[in-house]
Structure 1
Amino acid sequence: MALVTTSKMFEKAFEGKYAIGAFNINNMEIIQAITRAAKAQNSAVILQVSKSALKFAGPGYLKGMVDAAVAETGIDIALHLDHGPDLETVKECIEAGFTSVMFDGSHFDYETNVAKTKEVVDYAHARGVVVEAELGQLAGIEDDVNVAHENATFTDPDQAVDFVKRTGVDSLAVAIGTSHGAYKFKGEARLDFDRLAKITEKLEAEGFRNYPIVLHGASAVDAKSVEICNQYGAQIDGAKGVPNDMLRKACSMAVCKINMDTDLRLGMTAAVRRYLAENPKGFDPRGYLGDARTYLQELVEGKIKDVLGSTDSMN
């Protein structure tokens, strides 16, 4: 078994009206939790790495642990660069063995985004690696991505078609109302599904049939995890994510990949805080990391089954 690209995953997801979960990884326990959950649900999965995670763990360590997960589970796993800031980072990941990369040029002006994305696409495609790009800007904070709400911009459907045509990008992350971090909505949650439908319709009309759309900033910010964190000393007040019913609706449309990072961070923190509070004499990392791994596996299994709908996508 070896790592795969996302191409076949997305083809099946579009036809089956479900999405593949893209979960951010930072260490061994998170990788084990995600891939064992996917194995239990017989689901393909995407493991994605931010620039900060690359700095924290190193591409070689991450690739080695993911290879071990492939051998253990036997499921389809893609290793993906999340929010790659430049061609140099893309090259580093491709050389390390990543099968998918995202270049995020959304903070540039449109023509610069097109030019830089095309450069990444040409480099990656020549090496058998697929590319995701972003058009429009999501608000919020995630690692090195920091966009104020007043600077967020929704994706223009006509521009999306032009962008895909000119860059040759394999999938497109769009801005329809999600945001990064644990505080996604100040008021009522709302996603612009009409905009999502228009993007898909216009792409289809130009010959891009079943084109895969990606949803970033799509953690639900699970109330259980937040409650446990706060019960054991955290101060996470007013956190609000994307409701599960909205995510399920997006999966039934053109969204083939949904990114989830904040839910994993909250879940791991909740389990570790609870373990240390309930075991004040404990100091073995295997105790609290083991509890965190178990908690995350249950959380990811629930996402696959109840939100993404990708259970049995390996069949």
Structure 2
Amino acid sequence: MALVTTTEMLKKAQEGNYAVGAFNVENMEMVMAVIAAAEELQAPVILQTTPSTVKYAGLDYYLANAKVAAERSSVPVAMHLDHGSSFDLAMQALRTGYTSIMIDGSHGSFEDNISLSKSVVDACKPSFIPVEAELGKVGGKEDDLDGGEGSAYTDPMEAKEFVERTGISSLAIAIGTAHGLYNGEPKLDLDRLSEIREVVSVPLVLHGGSGVPEETIIESIKRGICKVNYATELRIAYSDGVKKVLNEAPETIDPKKYGAAGLQFVKDFVKDKIVVCGSKGKAKEVLACDALA
């Protein structure tokens, strides 16, 4: 089927108290792996690319991979710009055909974040493309993203005002997760999450899902998270698959052989996270998504 937006996906997840897995993809094999896992478990799925990934090959290259994968699949697939770093990049993704856009103005002031986010919402609205924004700062570093030290958690009342003034479709919140690998076990402020859920009506997003204990992810979903982002662990899984082949057979020169191993490792990881998110078997619920040609 054609690529769909995240609108119906996250709406159904919010109604059903589960989350949709959102997976950052770096190459064709990772796209194939995510779709194969979603197809096998009949789950809706979101493919994502960050600005640094886009810089490597271009929005059109990654979108082309996603479109072919979605058209060969029977499950809902969305293509999302993760951490859009500017209005211009968000508009490039919109014009290229991405079906979901994130604009990340969290490094600016509260008012600047509102202004930037609203400008992207207004530009995407005529095309019915949903917009995710971030309030508070998710810590750690991944790609060119740097949350810095002592990143601010999301204030519930600011979140309420932010959603009302911007008109965003979903909100990424900061409750203690970080991009990249954690030093020790992360401690999430789940009470803060519950407070935000009480005053914010749009679906909530958890960034930095890689490395968070499964029981913590499950509890955060119970408290209102509708989308969970995974990136670092997909890279690790793919690399581990490639290394396994090359360590066992250093003379291997066919990229398809170690690519297939990386694909399988990523597929196994994604299947596990789909189950954790509770989206297994939920594809039928969102097949009425707003499919885009």
Do Structure 1 and Structure 2 share a fold, with TM-score over 0.5?
A: yes
Q: CA deviation at 1:294?
A: 1.1
Percent of residue pairs identical? 42
The amino acid that maps onto 1:194 is D
Residue 213 of structure 1: which of 200, 204, 212 is its match?
Answer: 204
Residue 245 of structure 2: which of 275, 278, 282 is its match?
Answer: 275
Partner of residue 291, structure 2 = none
Residues 177-188 of structure 1 mapped to structure 2, 5 A cutoff: 177-183=176-182, 185-186=183-184, 188=185
Partner of residue 285, structure 1 = 255
Whether 1:191 aligns to 2:161 is no
The amino acid that maps onto 1:138 is V
The amino acid that maps onto 2:82 is D
Provide Cα deviations, 1:139-172, integer angstroms capped at 9, x if missing partner.
Answer: 111111112222x010000000000010001100
- CA distance in 1 between counterparts of 2:162 and 2:147 reads 22
Alpha-carbon RMSD across the aligned residues, in angstroms, is 1.0
Q: CA deviation at 1:202?
A: 1.6
* Further displaced range: 114-123 or 63-72: 63-72
The amino acid that maps onto 2:162 is F
Contact 2:105/2:117, CA 8 A, preserved across alignment = yes
* Further displaced range: 30-39 or 243-252: 243-252
Matched position secondary structure for 2:132: strand
Contact 1:26/1:56, CA 8 A, preserved across alignment = no
Partner of residue 310, structure 1 = 279
Matched position secondary structure for 1:286: helix
Partner of residue 8, structure 1 = 8
Q: CA deviation at 1:126?
A: 1.8
The amino acid that maps onto 1:218 is G
Partner of residue 76, structure 1 = 76
Q: CA deviation at 1:138?
A: 1.1
Size of the aligned set, in residue pairs, is 284
- CA distance in 2 between counterparts of 1:37 and 1:202 reads 35
Provide Cα deviations, 1:253-304, integer angstroms capped at 9, x if missing partner.
Answer: 2111000001101101111111101001111111111110011111111111
Contact 2:59/2:96, CA 8 A, preserved across alignment = yes
Whether 1:296 aligns to 2:266 is yes
Structure-2-length-normalised TM-score? 0.95
Q: CA deviation at 1:71?
A: 1.6
- CA distance in 1 between counterparts of 2:77 and 2:223 reads 23
- CA distance in 2 between counterparts of 1:202 and 1:165 reads 11
Structure-1-length-normalised TM-score? 0.88
Unaligned runs of 5+ in 1: 220-240
Matched position secondary structure for 1:75: coil
Matched position secondary structure for 1:218: coil
Matched position secondary structure for 1:98: coil
Contact 2:3/2:71, CA 8 A, preserved across alignment = no
Query: Using CA pairs below 8 Å that are at least 6 residues apart, which structure has the higher relative contact order?
Result: 2
The amino acid that maps onto 2:113 is N
- CA distance in 1 between counterparts of 2:144 and 2:125 reads 26
- CA distance in 2 between counterparts of 1:10 and 1:3 reads 15
The amino acid that maps onto 2:206 is L
4+ residue runs of structure 1 moved beyond 4 angstroms?
Answer: none
